[in-house]
Structure 1
Amino acid sequence: MANDILLAAQGLTKSFGALRVLHDITFDVRGGEVLGILGPNGAGKTTLFNLVSGDIRVDGGELVFAGDRLVGQPPHRRCQMGIGRTYQIPRPYVGMTTFENLLVAASFGGGKSEAASYARCAEILRHCELADKANRPAGSLTLLDRKRLELARALASGPKLLLLDEIAGGLTDDEGKALVALIRRIRDSGVTIVWIEHVLHALLAVADRIMVLNFGEKIAEGAPDEVINDPEVRRVYMGIET
């Protein structure tokens, strides 16, 4: 699947009552790449993720993942097809251990038994630097480790495509660097990533391409340097008039 189109979106549209949140959004994601998504608050970024993951229904347009139509598929089926997701605010099962959180994701998201998931979950914990916290209650973790757990749970379902929703938000510079290093390792393992992020330097350190949304419309897409230097992007996203 590497370099082939893994996710294709054509003419996506979504409104909530009279409020149009997304209009005619078309883009694709190739296997193995990292697509970054930028835009001011209210641009429609998280709504776009919700359409891909199935959390909300598409009003118009088409979504194709690995050759299969997504529209009409429920969220759990999309997860089983290979779409993993994190959320802006980590919400682990706080009464369970870190390891048990991964087992739930592997069992219900990945469709495997607990026994068949043990080794894989242990490997993911090591990969995400959480092995020494495997038996701690998830509710006791620091913010950085909750973010790592959010990533680890998504990986436990065995995704081909990983949707990251502002995963670096709220972290210190050093914590952000640690998280970026982890995301690079995930990319290098062959997982395709679409990443919404306000922490621009974190996104630029990993993204192959960037797409920018504003008021529900795509205003730019391309190589990171080209997009960041686009006059319209600088005006809308950075408040810089050129």
Structure 2
Amino acid sequence: MTDQAILSAKGLTKRFGALTVVEDVSFDVGRGEVLGILGPNGAGKTTLFNLISGDLAANSGELSLDGSPLRAEPPFKRCKRGIGRTYQVPQPFGAMTAFENLLVPAMMSARMSEAEANDHCAEVLRDCGLLPYANTAAGSLTLLNRKRLELARALAGRPKLLLLDEIAGGLTEAEGAELVGLVRRVRDQGVTIIWIEHVLHALMAVANRVMVLNFGVKIAEGTPDAVMQDAEVQRVYMGIEA
């Protein structure tokens, strides 16, 4: 898979003082693949995303995108290289409308013309169920719609690698099914996805492969069925003793 990997991580380690949050984690993500990341709270999942997006710098290890090292590039440069992400806690531009929030990544990251960005952003809002709120200030949206906006903003930049951080949390069963359909459509358009999620049925419906972290260490990796049958994963993630 390494030759075809869109993202390659080798020996990623992140420490905060004496606390090691991500320890010697290596993995590849194939082009067009959906990699699910599981683990209990505090496992280092979001920290791993922060290393990929450039929000944090690793203490050691290497990251490359399309075979080119990411080095110390800040988040805005990684966005322009095709990395989009959502945050577990939505972070919209509160005083701007939902539509204006999408124009920023469409024009700055994807470098679209204004006319192209207008059409693209309207389509993304429609796909994410937000078109009726296009002219609503993002700060006045409900939490659920801010989570949808978080996904829409990531998609507006036309990423080739999309990092999804627990976007299914707080959704009803029907909304979750709608989200799974949207993620499938994004995948079918050729976007590679890494998805952190606690809503297992949503993740398992889409992921080709799953990686499990515990206290910053990778403890399992493989197909969803194989990983969920792993005794250590069952013990750590589901509290099932052998």
For the aligned pair, the TM-score class normalised by the smaller chain equals over 0.9
Tell me what 2:27 maps to. 27
Paired with 2:99 and 2:44, the residues of 1 have a C-alpha distance of: 34
The one-letter amino acid of 1:140's match is: S
Tell me what 1:158 maps to. 158
Paired with 2:147 and 2:93, the residues of 1 have a C-alpha distance of: 13
What secondary structure does 1:24 align onto?
strand
Runs of 4+ with >4 A deviation: none
Tell me what 2:233 maps to. 233
Paired with 2:144 and 2:206, the residues of 1 have a C-alpha distance of: 18
The one-letter amino acid of 2:146's match is: R
Tell me what 2:168 maps to. 168
Paired with 2:207 and 2:69, the residues of 1 have a C-alpha distance of: 26
Residues 174 and 143 of structure 1: CA distance in aligned 2, closer, same or farther (over 3 Å): farther
Tell me what 2:206 maps to. 206
Structure 2: gaps spanning 5 or more residues: none
Matched, 1:129 2:136: no
User: What root-mean-square deviation, in Å, do the aligned CA atoms of Structure 1 and Structure 2 show?
Assistant: 1.5
Matched, 1:107 2:112: no
Paired with 1:236 and 1:111, the residues of 2 have a C-alpha distance of: 44
Paired with 1:133 and 1:68, the residues of 2 have a C-alpha distance of: 39
Tell me what 2:66 maps to. 66
Tell me what 1:76 maps to. 76
* Farther-moved stretch of structure 1 (63-72 vs 172-181): 172-181
Paired with 1:116 and 1:224, the residues of 2 have a C-alpha distance of: 38
- 1:51–1:57 contact (8 Å) kept in structure 2: yes
Provide, for residues 193-220 of structure 1, a one-character-per-residue CA deviation record: whole Å limited to 9, x for no partner: 0000111111111111000000110000
Please report how far the alpha carbon of residue 116 of structure 1 lies from its aligned counterpart in structure 2 after TM superposition. 4.1
Tell me what 2:145 maps to. 145
* Total equivalences in the alignment: 240
Matched, 1:185 2:185: yes
Between the aligned residues of both structures, percent identity stands at 66
Paired with 2:97 and 2:35, the residues of 1 have a C-alpha distance of: 32
What secondary structure does 1:51 align onto?
helix
Paired with 2:140 and 2:23, the residues of 1 have a C-alpha distance of: 41
The one-letter amino acid of 1:83's match is: I
What secondary structure does 2:47 align onto?
helix
TM-score by length of 1: 0.94
What secondary structure does 2:152 align onto?
helix
